Amino acid sequence: MDLPIFGFADIFVNIKTLSKRELVRNPSLASHLKPGQSLQLEDGKEPLVLSRRKRARLTARQIHAELDRLCEGAPEQDAQAALRDLRQ
């Protein structure tokens, strides 16, 4: 029986390993993770993985769809009339 192969999510890029002592001495290693980086904290049997996701890149179509969704139900605006009103 063949199992389906799913594509791997590309939200994490690399993992650095550090000890609990290193984290206590330099906590900025965890707080300054860049998007796509992960830290594996070695402590006991189970390691703890701290991760920061990659930022999602939106296409122009996705951005326009989100703007349309946000402006749904808003009254029509006439930008030229607003500018004329500001000039007076």
> Could you please report the per-residue DSSP string of 23-52?
HHH-THHHHTPPTTEEEEEE-SSSPEEEE-
Residues 31-72 pLDDT 10s: 888 887 888 888 778 888 888 887 778 899 999 999 999 988
Provide the number of structural domains found in the chain: 1
Q: Which residue has the higher pLDDT, 87 or 43?
A: 87
Q: How far is CA 77 from the centre of its chain?
A: 32
- Structural domain contains residue 43: yes
Asked if residue 36 belongs to a domain, the reply is yes
Q: For 19, phi and psi rounded to 5 degrees?
A: -90, 165
pLDDT band at 80 (very low <50, low <70, confident <90, very high): very high
CA atoms of 19 and 49, how far apart (whole Å): 12
Domain-embedded: residue 64: yes
Asked whether residue 6 is assigned to any structural domain, the reply reads no
Amino acid 3: pLDDT: 46
Residue 61 within any structural domain of the chain = yes
Is 78 inside a domain boundary? no
Residue span of the structural domain in which 55 resides: 14-73
**Cα separation, 54 vs 14, whole angstroms:** 11
Tell me if 33 is assigned to some domain. yes
Residue 88 lies in a domain: no
